A and B are shown apart, each in its own frame.
Chain A
Amino acid sequence: MQVTGTVLTTRRVDAYHALTVVAPGIAERYRPGHFVSVAVGGAYTSMVTRRAFSIHDVKSDYGGTVELVFTAGGPGTAWLAERRARDTLDLVGPLGRPFPLPRDPAHCVLVGAEYGSAVLFPLADALLARGCRVDFVLGAAGAERVFGAMRARRLAETTTLTTEDGSLGVRGKVTDALPAVIADTRADVVYACAPMETLRAVTAVAMEFDIPVQVAVEESMACGIGVCMTCVLPIIGDDGVTRMVRACVEGSVFRGEQVRFEDVGTIPFDALGAPGGGVRHVS
């Protein structure tokens, strides 16, 4: 649904901007893993595509609020970073397929890199409410870009931090620390949100331990609602057939082993409908 929300608060969290927006309908329907798309640039904007952001937090205040966490990079996020309390924002959401939760209490490792960590906190709350054990592995290039370390420490059994420059926690990447965490916690499942390369490595680690892994991917999106076909990636279906699947409606959460990470950005020759080959005429 589309909501014209009012900005309640803005704050800086380390290297990130956080915006809390009053958006009743969205907060109500929200499940961990959902995202929203935001129109940027105001009424006469020259930016025709919306920007997608994971929902970091929802609260029931003021009929329902959602919090977004982002880095100001291009013109859209720069505009968003200039929003102040009482400005209005045009949001569509909640969008996407949320994280599936285990039926029975399980040991869960949550892996986040950079702002990818943001989406994991409401997931952790939901898992804890079901009696799961939660352990975090959070990382980034440097200390100021590791998001949510304090909150992770409050919530989780253990929190492992990694930085590539060694300014905080273990020097290296989240995937360097992950095997030990999985082994120590005797994890049953891994959840991850990070850049595609990291998700690929996380999936490889989880598969080595033979445990399921749920990944939230990030693809360039023009519409966020499933109509434009720009956000696709090669996904192996339950029938074994690879299809170019929309990340915005069929994702953005996928089982890691379904994603053909090494083929992202290509049309694998054996994908359904690939030019000149594969299972082209299977309907």
Chain B
Amino acid sequence: MSVDMRTFLAHVELANPITTAAGCASSGRELAQFFDLHRLGALTTRSITMAPRAGRPTPRMAETPSGMLNAVGLQGPGIDAFLERELPWLAQRGIRTIVSIGGGTVAEYSELARRLADAPGVTALEVNLSCPNMEDRGRVFAREGSAAAEVIASVRSIMRYDVPVVAKLAPDVADIVSVARACVDSGADALSMINNPLGMAIDTEALRPSLAAVTGGLSGPAILPLAVRCVWQVHAALPGVPLIGIGGVMSGRDAFQLVLAGACVVGVGTALFHDPYACLRVERELEDLLRARGFQRLADAVGLAHRPPGSAHRHLLVDSEESTP
């Protein structure tokens, strides 16, 4: 028996809950050499910026225990090239696409939203709030509820009503729930978490930082517990808000943890570097785990770990009711 893997990101239905994490699948073409992108719940693009960006100097990558650090610096061709070449390629193929955007000012995010508002093929808009705010001495938007809220309110007012706006949150903040609440109050239809926490590694041969940028974003299995904690806390505080759980997902079991914590969509990032087929494998493994535990629908497992101690497994109750003549 197959499990119903459909899920809703706000009012948008996805065939399954697996998406690529922003910045880990470029704009899809490279992965399309390995598998049919229609098999993803959605493809999330790298964060698109207004102007072309050359990014940070190299080395941009350092492997760390069960993870890696990256300091790519949002390298990309800018919104014009994205709208000319990358988005149409996805739209023509009917690939569900979550477009991620990144900016340095509220005005820049707003301008990106304006450029994307009428573009065909945008399933949802993800706002990468882990960008330095040029108007606040480079403090990251996601660290400050009010700054994040200002971006989200403006973007929400510009995007078409039927395109969900997703606020992407960072884990290294004093209180992720208050940032989450600020984003939802200013109109975010959904939240995604977590972006990379900041880390650092030192090269013990060269006796200097491993990354040219000194610090970088940590990703991979090392951050899974951090992601599970963030999704858990935000789902507990805002149970009605759809969450995209991201961070360290390598297997279906990892994805299942995020689902049980409250995520209805799961993003796969660093795992793609290790295994280009990771999204398909995670989806299959998640479905197998759900089936083995008697779930008929993915939706029944979302946030299930929050049920009070001692209460029964809802899905098992359904099973026994069905089997009673």
Instruction: List B contacts of A219 (CB < 8 A).
Output: 58
Which residue of A46, A50, A228, A265 is within 8 Å of B70 (Cβ)? A228
Q: How far, in angstroms, from A163 to B53 measured CA to CA in the complex? A: 42
A-contact bits for B1-42, CB 8 A (1 contact / 0 none): 000000000000000000000011110001101100000000
- A48-B67, A227-B26, A227-B30 in contact; A273/B276 too (CB < 8 A)? no
A225-B276, A273-B54, A280-B52 in contact; A230/B61 too (CB < 8 A)?
Answer: yes
| CA distance in complex: A150, B184 (Å) | 69
Q: Is the CB of A222 within 8 A of B273?
A: yes
Highest count of chain A CB atoms <10 Å: which of B80, B81, B274: B274
Contact of A227 among B31, B61, B63 (CB under 8 A): B31
Q: Are B273 and A273 in contact (CB under 8 A)?
A: no
**A2 on the interface (CB 8 Å rule)?**
yes
List chain A residues, Cβ under 8 A from B26. Answer: 226-227, 229
- A181 CB-CB contact with B under 8 Å: no
- Chain B nearest CB from A276 CB (Å) reads 11
Knowing A265-B58, A267-B57 are in contact, say whether A50-B30 is a contact too (CB < 8 A): no
- The answer on a CB contact under 8 Å between B273 and A48 is yes
Q: Does A249 contact B (CB under 8 A)?
A: yes
B72 on the interface (CB 8 Å rule)?
yes
- Taking a contact as CB atoms under 8 Å apart, the answer to whether A232 and B58 are in contact is yes
CB pair A226–B30 under 8 Å, yes or no, is: yes
Q: How far is the CA of A233 from the CA of B276 in the complex (A)?
A: 23
Residues of B within 8 A of A231 (CB): 58
Determine if B58 and A233 form an interchain contact, defined as CB atoms under 8 angstroms apart.
yes
B162 on interface, CB distance cutoff 8 Å: no
Interfacial chain B residues near A46, Cβ < 8 Å: 65-66, 221
For residue A228, which residues in chain B have a CB less than 8 angstroms away from its CB? 23-24, 61, 70, 72, 273
Are A230 and B72 within 8 A (Cβ)? Answer: yes
- What is the 8 Å Cβ interface bit string for chain A, positions 209-230, against chain B (1 contact, 0 not)? 0000000000111110111111
A18 to B274, CA, bound (A): 23
> How far apart sit A66 and B19, CA to CA, in the bound complex (Å)?
34
Nearest chain A CB to B109 CB, angstrom units: 18
Is residue B123 contacting chain A, with contact meaning CB distance below 8 A? no
Which residues in A have their C-beta under 8 angstroms from that of B202?
none
- B48-86 Cβ-contact flags toward A at 8 Å (1 or 0): 000111111111110101111010100111101100100
Question: Which residues of chain B are near A249, meaning CB under 8 Å?
Answer: 30
What mask results when residues 266 to 278 of chain B are scored 1 for a CB within 8 Å of chain A, else 0? 0000111111110
Q: B67 — which chain A residues lie within 8 A by C-beta?
A: 48
A275 near B273 with CB under 8 A, answer no
Known contacts: A227-B25, A227-B26, A267-B57. The answer to whether A280 contacts B51 by CB under 8 A is yes
Closest Cβ of chain B: how far from A97's Cβ, in Å?
14
Write the chain A residue with the least CB distance to B67: A48
State whether B274 touches A48 (Cβ < 8 A). Answer: yes
Q: Is the CB–CB distance between B274 and A244 below 8 Å?
A: no
Contact with B along A140-172 (1 / 0, CB 8 A): 000000000000000000000000000000000
- Say yes or no for B252: interface residue by CB 8 A criterion: no
Partner of A232, one of B31, B60, B77, B277: B60
Cβ B55 vs Cβ A39 within 8 A: no
A47→B77 CA distance, assembly (Å) = 30
A47-B63, A265-B212 given; A283·B58 CB < 8 A: no
A108 within 8 A of partner (CB): no
A274 within 8 A of B: yes
Contacts A49-B63, A283-B81; is A222 near B70 (CB within 8 Å)? Answer: yes
Give Cα A225–Cα B272 distance, bound, in whole angstroms.
Answer: 10
- The answer on a CB contact under 8 Å between B54 and A222 is no
A213 to B221, CA, bound (A): 42
Residue in B46, B52, B72, B212 whose beta carbon sits within 8 Å of that of A273 in the complex: B52
Least Cβ–Cβ distance between B22 and chain A, in angstroms = 11
Q: Which residues of B contact A180 (CB under 8 A)?
A: none
Enumerate chain A residues within 8 angstroms of B54, measured Cβ to Cβ.
Answer: 243-244, 267, 271-275
Q: Let me know if A225 and B30 touch, CB within 8 A.
A: yes
8 Å CB contacts to B: which residues of A182-233? 219-223, 225-233
Q: What is the minimal beta-carbon distance from A239 to any residue of chain B, in angstroms?
A: 14
**Which residues of chain A are within 8 angstroms of B220 by Cβ–Cβ distance?**
48
- Cα A222 to Cα B71 in complex, Å, equals 12
Known: A48-B63, A49-B68, A226-B26. A2 touches B276 (CB 8 A): yes
Contacts A49-B63, A272-B52 given; indicate if A39 touches B274 (C-beta within 8 A).
yes
Q: How far is the CA of A159 from the CA of B63 in the complex (A)?
A: 39
**B57 and A265 within 8 A (CB):** yes
Specify the chain B residue showing the minimal Cβ separation from A266.
B57
What is the 8 Å Cβ interface bit string for chain A, positions 37-59, against chain B (1 contact, 0 not)? 00100000011111000000000
A–B Cβ pairs within 8 angstroms, 9 of them = A48-B67, A220-B61, A227-B272, A229-B75, A230-B70, A249-B30, A267-B54, A272-B52, A283-B52
Enumerate the 8 nearest inter-chain pairs by beta-carbon distance, A residue then B residue, closest first: A273-B52, A230-B61, A273-B54, A223-B273, A226-B30, A283-B80, A46-B66, A273-B53
